């Protein structure tokens, strides 16, 4: 092979690598966890599916060049297929007692197609609830520049390490937000999810009646402005998240705190229990 051909081959590998976008998950929880992905809307699911991570283990999901949007969450106490989990089984196939509320800590991403001028968006979402500590670290970071990014977003590390012991047991309007499993608090429900999720986990009430309408902020009829000025921002849960996890989403329109963006060629490292 000629020197010129070798040089072009090396350049091709470098260019291809520059457009390789991925999300690497690390487990530091001291026990096995399972990473469960869900693609938004009608998009194609990631072929990897649910992945088991032993303690100190890792796994990398490759992002398609055509783009991808969706979420991941940790599950614990699962069977060999990553189902029938003690915590995190919020989607079918449901265990014998029914599916759990979607109160797991979620990490969410939107990747445009490779080479597009659009940003990559990401967040730690506690809108439904909280289970395990999580941290997202982008492969490149930028200071917060309000005139450069929408919503004041920025390409920075975002994390949440709230203690489940701090989960409110007497939340305004809805009561105890704690979800117990095996004699311990396994998840903390957001006020909206406590309001609208069926018994035994929640109150099973409609979002169309107050105070549920301004705890959950369905749009329509509740506008983002009305939500941000409503009772949800006065709840113990939202105030706790803002205090301990200021870069995470705590309710539906918590964009300024929770939503972040990076250039299109970024990759991420997500660590549970960092």
Q: Please state, in angstroms and as integers, the Cα–Cα distance from residue 166 to each residue in 141, 179, 181, 247, following that order.
A: 31, 12, 16, 18
Round to whole Å and give the CA distance between 176 and 188. Answer: 9
For the segment 156-168, the average pLDDT, to the nearest whole number, is 95
Which residues have a Cβ under 8 Å from the Cβ of 185 and sit 6 or more positions away? 164, 165, 167, 178, 179
For the segment 264-271, the average pLDDT, to the nearest whole number, is 96
Cis amide prior to 200 (ω within 30 degrees): yes
For residue 151, pLDDT over 70 is answered with: no
Q: For 170-204, how does the pLDDT look when each residue is reduced to its tens digit (9 = 90+)?
A: 999 999 999 999 899 999 999 999 999 999 999 99
Domain boundary assignment for the chain: 22-272
For residue 124, pLDDT over 70 is answered with: yes
Share of the chain above pLDDT 90, in %: 83
- Predicted TM-score (pTM) of this structure: 0.88
CA-wise closest residue to 127 among 212, 171, 190, 188: 190
**pLDDT number for residue 150:** 38
Is the CATH number of domain 22-272 2.60.110.10?
Answer: yes
CA-wise closest residue to 121 among 97, 144, 149, 99: 149
Q: For 50-68, how does the pLDDT look when each residue is reduced to its tens digit (9 = 90+)?
A: 999 999 999 999 999 999 9
For residue 134, pLDDT over 70 is answered with: yes
- Pairing of the two strands 268-272 and 129-130: unpaired
**pLDDT number for residue 7:** 41
List for the chain the helix, strand, coil content (%; round to 5): 20, 25, 55
Q: For 234-250, how does the pLDDT look when each residue is reduced to its tens digit (9 = 90+)?
A: 999 999 999 999 999 99
């Amino acid at each position: 092979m000629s020197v010129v051909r070798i040089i072009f081959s090396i350049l091709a590998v470098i260019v291809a690598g520059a457009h390789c976008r991925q999300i690497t998950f690390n487990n530091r929880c001291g026990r096995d966890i399972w990473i469960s992905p869900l693609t938004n809307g009608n998009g194609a699911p990631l072929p990897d599916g649910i992945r088991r991570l032993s303690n100190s283990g890792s796994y990398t999901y490759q992002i398609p060049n055509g783009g991808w949007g969706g979420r991941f969450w940790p599950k614990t106490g699962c069977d060999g297929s990553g189902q029938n989990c003690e915590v995190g089984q919020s989607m079918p196939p449901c265990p014998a007692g029914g599916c759990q509320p979607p109160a797991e800590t979620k990490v969410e991403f939107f990747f445009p197609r490779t080479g597009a001028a659009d940003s990559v968006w990401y967040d730690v979402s506690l809108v439904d609830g909280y289970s395990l500590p999580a941290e997202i670290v982008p492969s490149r970071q930028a200071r917060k520049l309000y005139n450069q990014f929408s919503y004041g977003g920025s390409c920075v590390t975002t994390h949440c390490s709230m203690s489940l012991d701090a989960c409110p047991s007497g939340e305004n309007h809805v009561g105890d937000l704690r979800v117990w499993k095996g004699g311990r608090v396994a998840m903390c429900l957001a006020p909206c999810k406590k309001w609208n999720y069926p018994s035994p986990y929640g109150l099973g009430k409609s979002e169309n009646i107050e105070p549920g309408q301004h705890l959950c902020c369905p749009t329509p009829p509740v506008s983002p402005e009305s939500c941000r000025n409503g009772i949800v921002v006065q709840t113990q849960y939202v105030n706790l998240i803002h205090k301990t996890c200021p870069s995470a989403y705590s309710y539906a329109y918590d964009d300024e705190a929770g939503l972040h963006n990076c250039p299109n060629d970024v990759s991420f490292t997500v660590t549970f229990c960092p």
